[in-house]
Structure 1
């Protein structure tokens, strides 16, 4: 299918914003079918009551794990069952809440299951200490039993590897009791950013009033009219500036809880703690930052090219998103987006394409923005049911890539769930962004290869360059901000709004270089990044992007072994450490090579854009 486009994308988006529907008015065919996961709220309530009662049965296993292989096995299976039921309750309530974050019913359901999950963590906190207290030889003999306990061999290896970071039974129980009380910062941010915050309106290109929303902000920043970009930028950050002290307090509280748990578990830092949970050496983080820092002149060169191409006397932060090839501004219908994504991912094989089409045809995707809907996009789901995708689709090229990205997550989960038992199905965050970003890399190459038109090639290269800037450079800058702020908190410094703003401003100066006017409003950008409330998540976008560029290049070259290795990777879950899973694809993230190779591609793309 060819690229069928609608010009004047922001005018199209402004019309869509003005006509934004309530959730009850949304077209059912463009909403996700959560009934496949949980038939209705009554089923949820029944499962909640059943699970709440079963959670109290953990006490029956306390003190018995060393008695026999059967006793240990029964406890581990029981724990798996509770975990899966709570996951179903948790994900359903949260996804329903995300449909309309102002809806009190699902806020209440989510709050109740979150409390239940903390209770389960508290009541099950004896399991790991009891396992660690067992005689190693006795545990080894149990693992040779033919009662099915061999399933948990890798889990036991991971538990034994955390011996020095696991506390006594009573202390583990006390830590588990604290979790509920330490989640307030994340909850406050989520409510503020998704339910309560309101942005001003600006004047659109035809004089109409356009309200700024999370959903349309990037579209406004892509507008060819610089006045509209500037007004949207200033309007958004005028609100975050008003709440800078409140959001600094929320951010600081979240950092402090991460530092607290790291200290409690005898880790040298919150970063070490977070990375250890994903079996990732800290060297990977440091290598990423070092490789990107070394190659910042490439980003500085790109900023200069952008400034010259746009014909600007000076380039501001609000000039970073507008396409440099304005005559190829375009929008896509959702049907067009699905067709383009299906074509672009064809190199992954017919089986992959069949799963992709199944997701499109059977309401895995919640497509359009509505009043109160959570901003952004994600993929989520529950073991035993197909995955889901949340979008806020406005028809931009970026939205097409977001669809490919989130379906990459979903199909990764689909493969992993099908190939792995529950205990190993959930892949670690470190590899979570590989499949999604590989899809984006395949899609951009597909679009580039199918056009001979110079201007369209420049438009697409522009988009690919923006993927590098937004993922490899920007997320690494976020990673530096996060590491520095956690380090300051650990050293006893107060994370005030001004201190965080100064840190963030300096990083923007370093990354974007001498050509960029680093506007003071950008000092508040850290306030709106939800991933900062999941400590040390963002760096994995950059490492995942680097790995994905390498994997997609091998697949497109016709390397059958690479494609076979990639499928094994998708099926791997957490059955191997994430570094080893990526080695199945021929990518070694314990070195700087994948990052260096990706940045080399970025430099070549900049020069190709200039030549064209």
Structure 2
């Protein structure tokens, strides 16, 4: 996941590389055969118990909290000084350029200050002093929004001929994409007084996400019995691992305990999600968008038709998913296929804990087709305090990549030693490499690529990792296992994320139409869509109706569809890398990974080799799913 950073509702948001980031040359990955043999699943009760080599080093951003505090004060001074440009942008080109440069410097420092505080809090949410830093960073981010909210309306108020003359100047060239974006959203930009008011209210729009994050952390799950009959504590971090257990009783226990616990808080979860949807819809209405979906996609220069055609194309492909579920049911040998069965491989594989050092090796090997330089940078990521590996009770769940233009990449993991975790590492490092090449090539102003292209880099890595592992498979059982994993990748990314996208669109439409988003309404909408996606082969367990309470992405404002579109695009790019070799690698690096937001995302991907403005990438990805399913069925039928 590329972490999204939003603290303002204004159009003045240059960049924040709180997303995938890269790596620098160097160093060898810490890994020996002896270490792998000795490694066991680590159990860390507190963050202090985790060795430093498995934690990210925030001192690379600020050597101390005092140094951070000094920049926080500097940020406040810069923010308060910026309004001195107000009312003067049309005076001369020199004044206009100075304002642009000052705005760029202000946003750049804001990014650095914010990510240091937010990442420190994410790995130690129970630390009150870190929460205080985070609160201060958020407060200053709001101040920046308030002090810059006048900028966009004033730029757009400059007479067209004068704006055109400004854009023709060589020194303004780095700002051209940003200024063109302002022109595009001009119909949705309000007067400076209203923009200032919206900036002051922006924290309210973020509040549901913050409440959800804290609520999810505070929910305590019961203990369940593991594969050995031992009582273990169920947590957000280990839930997925138990859902992959080959012991059906363990899977069922984890599934029921998790979602029934969420159901105890269903009204609170519903109120929080409803608040986010209302905020999105209100924002869209105030800015004169037709709906929240258009308001989300337009700033990224992505047509709404891309979202709609994704849902339409995937819905047409649902019979393939139903067929896969029928196969899974037969292979698992169950009379009924339940929601807690779908994460289990259809053939038994080595279920022992995969040491983190071994996971590193597999990722490096799998991504070799992307070139020697790419591999060296990956090695640096594993050895230089860029990755936070293991989970603790008060660490943020999931995985993401974060950082700012003036930092190296940071990747958050909650490593549990599963095969999925290896793919997660490859995914987040795809984000890291995207940012690495972008930051190395682009100035700050065009370095922050949109989410739409961000997920292409990450899922490209996953596709190449699969090809590497499948090519090395020596037995029929290994091949079946990996084919199943690939189909699961399609299910969880192309199908599942589209399912989420369809649900997210529906709840916004319902709220916009004046309908209540209470817990029972949300549960019914979710379980109905779930039934459509999984078909008659699947028992639509009532507990799954609460799955929306587990998905933080619903607070990111139409984020999830990009996983599915990106997955389709990366499937095509991976095929080009494997077939063409260096020409494709060079094209992808130069036209895509290094492009940032210097062009429209659809244009960037088209130049890299895939046209996502059409349904073809989705249709082609569904064909690959069908081919993989055919291959799996063929192998299974062989005696």
| TM, length-normalised to structure 1 | 0.96
Change (3 A) 1:3 1:301: farther
Distance 1:567 1:343, change over 3 A: same
1:106 to 2:130 alignment: yes
- Residue 482 of structure 1: CA displacement? 0.1
Q: Does 528-537 or 176-185 show the bigger shift?
A: 176-185
- Residue in structure 2 matched with residue 505 of structure 1 by the alignment: 527
- Cα distance, 1:332 vs structure 2: 1.4
Q: Distance in 1 between matches of 2:348 and 2:571?
A: 27
Gap change, CA 1:3 and 1:591, over 3 Å in 2: farther
Match of 1:490 in 2: 512
Q: What secondary structure is seen at the aligned counterpart in 2 of 1:557?
A: helix
Q: Deviations over 1:454-487 (max 9, x none)?
A: 1001111111111100000000000000000001
Superposed CA offset, 1:260-285 (max 9, x none) = 11011110000000001211001100
TM-superposed deviation, 1:451:
1.9
- 2:498 pairs, out of 451, 471, 476, with 476
Question: For the Cα contact (< 8 Å) 1:26–1:370, is it kept in 2?
Answer: no
Map 1:67-106; keep pairs closer than 5 Å. 67-106=91-130
1:334 matched residue in structure 2: 356
2 CA distance for matches of 1:298 and 1:567?
Answer: 33
1:158: how far off? Answer: 1.2
SS in structure 1 opposite 2:526? helix
Cα shift readout 1:275-333 (whole Å, capped 9, x = no counterpart): 01211001100111111000100000010001100000000000011111114434311
Matched with 2:342 is: 320
* Pick aligned residue for 2:148 from 124, 142, 145: 124
Q: Does the CA contact (< 8 Å) of 2:36 and 2:357 recur in 1?
A: no
Residue 183 (structure 1) shift: 1.9
Relative to structure 1, the CA distance from residue 361 to residue 6 in structure 2 (aligned partners, 3 Å threshold; closer, same or farther) is: closer
1:179 counterpart (202, 207, 216):
202
Q: Secondary structure at the match of 1:179?
A: helix
Show the counterpart of 2:278.
256
What are the Cα deviations for residues 387-429 of structure 1, in whole angstroms up to 9, with x where unaligned? 0111111111011111111000011111111100001000101
Which structure 2 residues correspond to residues 130-169 of structure 1 after superposition, within 5 A? 130-146=154-170, 148-169=171-192
**Which residues of 2 match residues 389-538 of structure 1 at below 5 A?**
389-538=411-560
1:271 correspondence with 2:293: yes
Contact 1:331–1:397 (8 Å) recurs in 2: no
Q: Is the 8 A contact 1:30 1:368 kept in 2?
A: yes
Residue 566 (structure 2) aligned to one of 544, 563, 570: 544
> Given the alignment of the two structures, is residue 302 of structure 1 paired with residue 328 of structure 2, yes or no?
no
Structure 2 residue aligned with 1:224? 246
Post-superposition shift, 1:4? 11
The match for 1:47 is: 71
**Displacement, 1:562?**
2.2
For residues 578 and 61 of structure 1, the distance between their equivalents in structure 2, rounded to whole angstroms, comes to 32
Match of 2:626 among 600, 603, 612: 603
Q: Is residue 584 from structure 1 mapped to residue 582 from structure 2 by the alignment? A: no
Q: d(CA) in 1 for partners of 2:454 and 2:587? A: 16
Aligned to 1:192: 215
**Which shifted more, 104-113 or 434-443?**
104-113
Q: Deviations over 1:148-169 (max 9, x none)?
A: 2232122221111111111111
Residues 1:61 and 2:78 are matched in the alignment:
no
Aligned-partner Cα distance in 2 for 1:562–1:207: 51
In structure 2, distance between residues paired with 1:50 and 1:340: 44
Conserved? CA contact 2:499–2:529, under 8 Å: yes
Q: Which residue of 1 aligns with 2:12?
A: none
Greater RCO (Cα-Cα under 8 Å, separation 6 or more): 2
Provide the C-alpha distance between the structure 2 equivalents of 1:5 and 1:120, rounded to a whole number of angstroms: 48
Q: 1:4 to 1:554 in 2, by over 3 A?
A: farther
2:580 aligned counterpart, secondary structure? coil
State how many pairs are aligned.
Answer: 603
Q: Note if contact 2:53-2:383 (Cα within 8 Å) is conserved in structure 1.
A: no
Q: 1:543-574 CA distances to partner (integer Å, 9 max, x unpaired)?
A: 01000100001101124432222102000000
Aligned to 1:213: 235
- CA distance in structure 2 between the partners assigned to 1:351 and 1:460 by the alignment: 28
Return the alpha-carbon distance in structure 2 between the equivalents of residues 228 and 559 of structure 1.
Answer: 44
Distance 2:229 2:185 in 1: 61
The DSSP-based 3-state class of the residue aligned with 1:64 is: coil
> Distance in 2 between the 1:303 and 1:20 partners?
37
For residues 233-278 of structure 1, give each alpha carbon's deviation from its aligned partner in whole angstroms, at most 9, with x where no partner exists: 0110111100000010000000000001101111000000000121
> Structure 2, unaligned stretches of length 5 or more?
1-30
TM-score, normalized by length of structure 2?
A: 0.92
Q: Which moved more, 1:497-506 or 1:33-42?
A: 33-42
How far apart, CA to CA, are the structure 2 residues paired with 1:123 and 1:384? 23
Whether the aligned pair in 2 keeps the contact of 1:69 and 1:149 (CA below 8 Å) is no
Does the C-alpha gap of structure 1 residues 502 and 3 become closer, same or farther in structure 2, counting only changes over 3 Å?
farther
Secondary structure at the residue paired with 1:96?
helix
How far residue 113 of structure 1 moved from its aligned partner, in angstroms, is 1.3
SS in 1 for 2:139: helix
Q: Deviations over 1:475-514 (max 9, x none)?
A: 0000000000001111111101001100000011000000
CA distance in 1, matches of 2:521, 2:600: 37
> What is the CA distance between 1:210 and its match in structure 2?
0.8
Aligned to 2:8: none
